[in-house]
Amino acid sequence: MNEQFALDGFVVEPQLLDLHLLGSLHDAFDDLFAGHFGTGIEPDEVNWQTTTGDPRRARQICNGWKADDRIAAVVLDPGSAARVADLMGWRGARLIQDNILWKPPGATQLGFHRDNDYSHWFSPAEMATCWIALDSTTEASGTLEFARGSHLWPAPASLDTPFHAPDDYTGDVKRSCPANTEVDIVSVVVPAGGGSFHHGDTWHGSAANCTIVQRRALAIHYARADAKFDLDRLEHGMGKVYGRYCGGNAAMPDAHFPTLHGRVS
Ligand SMILES: O=C(O)CCC(=O)C(=O)O
């Protein structure tokens, strides 16, 4: 594992994307949130659409790669998956889900959370994430924030902060911080096309966009290539959205969770 990643639980990168792609990705965001799905396939989660969405809320769609080939070209890139595998010490990485996030000027905050608290429907329940800024970011524009070293903290006893528009977006991370430790927040300030990689146990969230510029980002969540459905937990109602792709055995189908780098076993 990279030394900085092992200590902090994240690394920030000034450039992750070929800048020629930015324009087409912005167009893809316009299309997805307007309900135009180029491939004819709906994303797995659509939390905001032009006609119905609350204009003050951060916009979110999950698995836009299925709906739009311009998003797929970035999400299915084996290079980012290889980097994640290397940082995590995994033999391979498969896609779990993408997360398309758009905070227009004035849009609301996203609560601090750990991605691994959403991964209990597969095993090992470990994720890692590549986050790519599609606009230059500043603290004021509500860029992604990490609690440094928080991947080493004990798992939280309970979770109260909703993802969308919580009153205090830092509530859960403050409550989960061990005694005698300070929450050390680091903001990902990068040019468009830059971003970060983070461990699934690292606490992260973001403030409201208090500027007059857009704040769009593409997050790509990965698991180990040999991850399997946790049939027991699916039976107990966990992972309803993605568990529907379980064909009765534990293997995760490549059509929905493609292996992007390395070996499955
Ligand atoms: O872009 C953000 O502010 C949040 C991203 C995030 O938390 C995620 O994709 O898990």
Ramachandran angles phi, psi of 192, nearest 5°: -55, 135
Q: Are strands 59-62 and 215-224 parallel, antiparallel or unpaired?
A: unpaired
What pLDDT, on the 0 to 100 scale, is given for residue 237? 86
**CA neighbor of 171 nearest in space, from 110, 220, 117:** 110
Nearest CA to ligand 1 atom 7: 205
Q: Which of 243, 251, 245 is nearest to 226 (CA)?
A: 251
Q: Which of 45, 57, 98, 99 to mutate to test the pocket of ligand 1 (most atoms within 8 A of CB)?
A: 99
Domain count across the chain = 1
Pocket test for ligand 1, best of 129, 161, 209 (most atoms within 8 A of CB): 129
Residue 70 is inside which H or E element, if any? helix 69-75
Q: What is the CATH number of the domain that holds 213?
A: 2.60.120.620
What are 4's two structure tokens?
Answer: 């900085």
- Measured in Å, residue 219 CA sits from the centre of ligand 1 at 6
Query: Pocket of ligand 1, candidates 45, 84, 95, 110: which has the most ligand atoms within 8 Å of its Cβ, to mutate?
Result: 110
Model pLDDT, residue 265: 57
Specify the residue with its C-alpha closest to ligand 1, atom 9. Answer: 219
- Ligand 1 center to residue 183 CA distance, Å? 18
Ligand 1 centroid to Cα of residue 232, in Å, is 28
Phi/psi for 133 (5° steps) reads -80, 130
What are the counts of helices (DSSP H) followed by strands (DSSP E) for the chain? 7, 14
Residue 86 has phi, psi (to 5 degrees) of -65, -45
* CA pair distance 33, 54, nearest whole angstrom: 12
Domain that holds residue 24: 3-262
Instruction: Check the CA dihedral 37-39-41-45 and report its sign.
Output: negative
Query: Digits of tens for pLDDT over the chain (265 positions)?
Result: 589 999 999 999 999 999 999 999 999 999 999 999 999 999 999 999 999 999 999 999 999 999 999 999 999 999 999 999 999 999 999 999 999 999 999 999 999 999 999 999 999 999 999 999 999 999 999 999 999 999 999 999 888 889 999 999 999 999 999 999 999 999 999 999 999 999 999 999 999 999 999 999 999 999 999 999 999 999 998 888 999 999 889 999 999 999 999 976 5
Q: Are strands 195-199 and 128-133 parallel, antiparallel or unpaired?
A: antiparallel
The Cα diameter of the chain in Å comes to: 52
Give the residues surrounding ligand 1 with Cβ less than 6 Å away.
99, 101, 110, 115, 144, 204, 206, 217, 219
Residue 181 pLDDT: 94
How far apart are alpha carbons 195 and 135 in whole angstroms? 10
